[in-house]
Structure 1
Amino acid sequence: MPRPTPAQLVYGSATVVLSTLAMLLLSEVRSGTGVALIAVAGLALGLLVAVTVPIPRAVPAPSSRGADSSPVTRLPLRRTEPRATEHTLRS
């Protein structure tokens, strides 16, 4: 299993804390069983958020051989002004 990225840890932790706090404040639960259920729900929600955070993937290098690769045609650069060492017929 790959190690979690810092973004996954931050998003998951913030989700656990904020969702648990919001559920406790909104439900006004006073029993220990209710608090435990809300805590478990907050942990599950945080885990879900941490797992669904997109993981950066390495971009595959283009292959030198492939059905969709076309040969690259290099055109010479067009000069707009003659070089100082070249002879010109302009006076």
Structure 2
Amino acid sequence: MVPTFGLDIIQKFTNNISGLKQLAVWDFEDILQCIIPVFEGLFPQKHKKHEKEILNTLFLLATWHAYAKLQLHMDHTLDLFEQLTRPLGEKI
């Protein structure tokens, strides 16, 4: 039910993402870019804490991927990348 984006950017996925075999790198990237809205509201009310943790993790993965994909870093982007990869609870 996720619509396509543009003509060459993100194409329609198959009905069963978990059953896909031999994915290319861009397939994983496309899935990562589209997965957050798919997971929103997926869990029943009693599991909202788990949903929030999953959505936060997906956001961190997508953000980490965006920083890692940059071909040129500045001190500011390296600082942001470092903060993102720092273990939880570790002081800045």
| Structure whose CA Rg is larger | 1
Shared fold, TM over 0.5: no
Q: Give me the TM-score of the superposition, normalised by structure 2.
A: 0.31
**Structure ranking higher on relative contact order (CA contacts 8 Å, 6+ apart):** 1
Q: Give me the TM-score of the superposition, normalised by structure 1.
A: 0.31
